[in-house]
């Protein structure tokens, strides 16, 4: 029997979203180990909290809150755990170390939780970085001057040593996020989900230990049996994630997912104190998300608060998104609501945010569409072809080809016949939803996904394609939670910002704010592009522009409608100019040089 001692430590000046970070350097002799430690000290201004060595590598790490590490009594294996586990008998780094010694490289497959791991095996001369099935704890990796730099937040990596990646910039302009593992920095990539990544002196090699592989015919069980099994697994998932007695916060909307979690809290787990909240812009309108959410919370007897999503300043909105998202998270309309929530939970012990993202459901049309065209919500760069005349010669085509090659690579790796659901799990969830959740609320509280529990992922492999396309999830929770779904679903969001109008009315402030920033984005795009985009948004807001938009919008909607009726794949719509302007300004602010960041922080 092994005896482990669990240690937890925090690196000064980092928050909960930071996780572990540091450098892994090839070890030739004692002098190279000292050089690795010096590099860490020069980068972070402090000594590493954990320093380890294998015959070939030196590992120096710092931590944010919530990271634990353990070594077995012989000193052979050290496990660094970022995040949390919900597997019975395996909930901490000590248990993971024991599991690794018993099972070897198969240890990660059935770990249930939201985690990233670093494994140091001195006997096998092995250093591995592991991610969970859904990629809910990001790990970024880059190699510079012979050292592997790792971290879950781009803000703790030495980004000044990496050049700006033009293709990463193109991704962000068109999508508001990067896919295919890219970041705005060339050489810094996000490690894939469900993978073990072996670090060596020559590089890093990734292997998948799990992938979703639903059977077309399922296990042959009927709809009723599968729906009942789904509800049982939902109940167990919620109870597991409440086992440490957190103070639950629920981002409650008028849709299906968060409403299901609220109903499970009340009717399955018997939780009496759930602090529900919603976002609102202006007043609460009947039929909107916050209106329906408030009705639902009252029905269940839960507290409900409204947070204003936007306070009227686009400059503040952009700077908040850049400060929190760092150019690796999508622009968030309700960023000011998250700032207000952070102030409210400062004195709350063990606050945990529960969110309703899930991987359930699909249909045949989406399988055909995503087999032929850009999967999920990955937009090709030609969706912003209106920008081509305003870019230097050859740049637009290079952006189109770079993003297109990434999309083709994702489709080739996925293999034929992959569904929309697969691309959601493989790309949209880890590259869009995880950065949003972790870098906004995840900086000040834990985030949990009960609908992404491993038992539910296993359930999706047991149902047939017909069951997956038949809204079995909605029908199951509607029957199991009748008092939740007796209320109508929301018809409108009720919290989104009119970006076109706000950008047009505050164009001069945006132009000035962009000119004030000395940004590394100018390495990839013309410095005067901000002014060009502002002019285009202003032109779109005049009378002629409004008429042109109205006509083109009606034509576009008619084309989509008729192509669907004819069974054809719908055409892609262009990305609006005001959205590209916001993406550009957020990325410009996020890539501001350090001197500009420091001067603004001191104001």
| pLDDT tens string 96-114 | 999 999 998 899 989 999 9
- The first and second tokens of residue 321, run together, are 């998104």
Q: Are 22 and 48 in contact (CB under 8 A)?
A: yes
pLDDT at 215: 74
Tell me how many degrees the CA angle 374-375-381 measures, rounded to the nearest 5.
35
- How far apart CA 473 and CA 465 sit, in angstroms, is 13
Q: How confident is the model at residue 566 (pLDDT cuts 50, 70, 90)?
A: low
Q: How far apart are CA 257 and CA 478, in angstroms?
A: 11
What pLDDT is attached to residue 105?
Answer: 86
| H or E, element range at 366 | helix 364-372
CA distance 337 to 344: 11
Cβ atoms of 83 and 114 within 8 Å: the answer is yes
Average pLDDT over residues 173-200: 95
Q: Percent of the chain, pLDDT > 70?
A: 87
| Mean pLDDT confidence for 240-250 | 94
Average pLDDT over residues 468-477: 81
The CA R_g of the chain, rounded to the nearest whole Å, is 24
Angstrom distance (rounded) from CA 264 to CA 386: 47
Task: Output the pLDDT for position 371.
Answer: 44
The sheet that has 7-8: what strands, in order across it? 7-8, 67-71, 77-85, 113-121, 126-131, 195-200, 203-208
Q: What pLDDT score was predicted for residue 600?
A: 40
* Residue range 178-193: mean pLDDT, rounded: 95
Largest separation between any pair of C-alpha atoms in the chain: 77
Question: Three-state DSSP class for 307?
Answer: strand
- For tokens 């009119």, the residue is 498
Q: Is the pLDDT of residue 436 over 90?
A: yes
Q: Averaged over 271-295, what is the pLDDT? A: 90
Higher pLDDT residue, 17 or 565?
Answer: 17
- The first and second tokens of residue 267, run together, are 């009717």
Q: What span, in angstroms and rounded, lies between the C-alpha atoms of 492 and 168? A: 33
C-alpha–C-alpha distance, residues 138 and 435, integer Å: 8
* Tens digit of each residue's pLDDT (9 = 90 or more) over 310-337: 999 999 999 999 999 999 999 999 999 9
Name residues whose C-beta falls within 8 Å of residue 315's C-beta, 6 or more positions apart in sequence: 506, 509, 510, 513
Query: Which tens digit of pLDDT belongs to each residue from 247-261?
Result: 999 999 888 889 999
Distance of CA 456 to the CA centre of its chain: 20
Per-residue pLDDT averaged across 426-439, rounded? 92
When the pLDDT of each residue in the chain is averaged and rounded to a whole number, the result is 86
Distance of CA 295 to the CA centre of its chain: 29
Tokens of 490: 């929301």
Distance CA 459, CA 226 (A): 8
Q: pLDDT tens digit string along 371-381?
A: 444 566 788 99
* pLDDT for 29: 66
The pLDDT score that the predictor gives to residue 18 is: 84
Between 285 and 394, residue with greater pLDDT: 394
- pLDDT tens digit sequence for 331-361: 999 999 999 999 999 999 999 999 998 887 5
Residue 543 has pLDDT above 80, yes or no: no
Q: For tokens 């586990």, what's the residue? A: 85
Number of residues that make up the chain:
603
Whether pLDDT at 558 is above 90: no
State mean pLDDT over 50-59: 92
Give phi and psi for 279, each to the nearest 5.
Answer: -105, 145
Give the list of residues 6+ apart from residue 28 with CB closer than 8 angstroms, or none: none
Read off the pLDDT band of 595 (50, 70, 90). Answer: very low
Nearest to 446 by CA among 254, 287, 602, 244: 244
Interstrand relation of 446-448 and 351-354 (parallel, antiparallel or unpaired): parallel
Which one is predicted more confidently, 376 or 570? 376
pLDDT-based confidence at residue 575 (cuts at 50, 70, 90): confident
Confidence at residue 348, expressed as pLDDT on a 0 to 100 scale: 94
Among 89-93, 533-537, 598-602, which is the least confidently predicted range? 598-602
For residues 24-45, average pLDDT: 84
Band of the pLDDT at 365, cuts 50, 70, 90? Answer: very low
Write down the H helix ranges in 148-222. Answer: 166-175
- Mean pLDDT along residues 47-66: 91
CA distance linking residue 287 with residue 492, whole number of Å: 7
Bridging pattern class, strands 140-144 and 7-8: unpaired
Question: How does DSSP classify residue 454?
Answer: H
Give the confidence band of 493 by pLDDT, cuts at 50, 70, 90: confident
What is the reported pLDDT for 557?
Answer: 56
Residue 526: CB atoms within 10 Å? 13
Backbone angles phi, psi at 129, to 5 degrees: -110, 125
Whether the predicted pLDDT of 147 surpasses 60: yes
Shortest CA distance to 42 belongs to which of 22, 15, 56, 26? Answer: 22
Residue-level pLDDT at 184? 96
Share of residues in the chain with pLDDT > 90 (%): 61
Interatomic CA distance for residues 427 and 180, integer angstroms: 7
Q: CA–CA separation, 293 vs 358, rounded Å?
A: 19
pLDDT for the residue 240 = 94
Q: What is the structure's pLDDT at 547?
A: 56
Q: Which residue has the tokens 């202006």?
A: 282
Q: Are 173 and 158 in contact (CB under 8 A)?
A: no
């Amino acid at each position: 029997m092994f005896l482990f001692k669990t240690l937890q430590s925090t690196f000064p000046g980092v928050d909960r979203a930071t996780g572990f970070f540091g450098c892994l350097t090839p070890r030739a002799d004692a002098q190279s180990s000292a050089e690795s430690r010096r590099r860490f000290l020069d980068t972070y201004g402090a000594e590493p909290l954990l320093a380890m060595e294998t015959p070939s590598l030196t590992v120096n790490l710092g931590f944010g809150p919530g990271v634990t590490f353990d070594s077995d009594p012989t000193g052979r294996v050290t496990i660094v755990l970022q995040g949390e586990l919900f597997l019975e008998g395996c909930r901490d780094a000590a248990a993971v170390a024991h599991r690794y010694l018993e099972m070897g490289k198969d240890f990660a497959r059935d770990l249930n939780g939201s985690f990233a791991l670093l494994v140091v095996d001195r006997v096998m001369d092995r250093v591995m970085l592991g991610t969970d099935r859904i990629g809910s704890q990001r790990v970024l990796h880059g190699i510079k001057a012979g050292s592997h730099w790792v971290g879950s937040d781009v803000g703790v990596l030495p980004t000044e040593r990496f050049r700006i990646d033009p293709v990463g910039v193109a991704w962000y302009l068109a999508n508001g996020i990067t896919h295919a593992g890219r970041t705005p920095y060339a050489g810094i990539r996000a490690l894939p989900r469900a993978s073990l990544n072996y670090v060596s002196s020559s590089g890093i090699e990734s292997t998948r230990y799990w992938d979703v592989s639903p059977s077309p015919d399922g296990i042959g069980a009927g709809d009723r049996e599968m729906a009942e099994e789904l509800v049982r697994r939902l109940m167990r998932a919620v109870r597991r994630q409440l086992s440490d007695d957190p103070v639950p916060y629920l981002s409650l909307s008028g849709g299906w997912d968060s409403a299901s979690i609220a109903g499970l809290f009340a009717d399955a787990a018997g939780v009496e104190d759930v602090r529900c909240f919603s976002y609102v812009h202006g007043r609460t309108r009947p039929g909107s998300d916050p209106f329906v959410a408030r009705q639902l919370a009252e029905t269940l007897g839960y507290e409900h608060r409204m947070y204003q999503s936007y306070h009227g300043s686009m400059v503040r909105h952009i700077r908040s998104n850049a400060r929190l998202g760092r150019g690796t998270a999508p622009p968030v309309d309700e960023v000011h609501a998250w700032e207000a929530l952070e102030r409210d939970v400062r004195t709350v012990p063990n606050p945990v945010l529960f969110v309703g993202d899930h991987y359930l459901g699909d249909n045949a049309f989406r399988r055909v569409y995503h087999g032929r065209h850009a999967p999920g919500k990955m937009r090709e760069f030609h969706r912003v072809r209106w920008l081509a005349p305003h870019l230097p010669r050859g740049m637009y085509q290079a952006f189109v080809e770079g993003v297109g090659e990434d999309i083709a690579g994702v489709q080739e790796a996925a293999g034929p016949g992959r569904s929309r659901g697969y691309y959601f799990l493989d790309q949209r969830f880890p590259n869009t939803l995880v950065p949003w959740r972790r870098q906004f609320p995840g900086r000040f509280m834990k985030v949990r996904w009960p609908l992404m529990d491993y038992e539910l992922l296993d359930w999706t492999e047991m149902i047939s394609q017909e069951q997956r396309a038949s809204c079995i999830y909605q029908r199951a929770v509607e029957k199991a939670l009748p008092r939740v779904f007796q209320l109508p679903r929301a018809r409108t969001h009720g919290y989104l910002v009119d970006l076109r109008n706000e950008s047009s009315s505050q164009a001069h402030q945006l132009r000035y704010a962009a000119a004030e920033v000395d940004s590394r984005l100018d390495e990839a795009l013309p410095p005067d592009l901000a002014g060009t985009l502002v002019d285009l948004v202003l032109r779109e807001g005049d009378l002629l522009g409004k008429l042109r938009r109205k006509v083109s919008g009606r034509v576009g909607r008619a084309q989509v409608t008729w192509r669907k009726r004819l069974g054809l794949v719908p055409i892609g719509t262009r990305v609006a100019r005001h959205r590209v302007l916001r993406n550009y300004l957020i990325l410009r602010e996020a890539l501001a040089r350090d001197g500009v960041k420091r001067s603004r922080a001191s104001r």
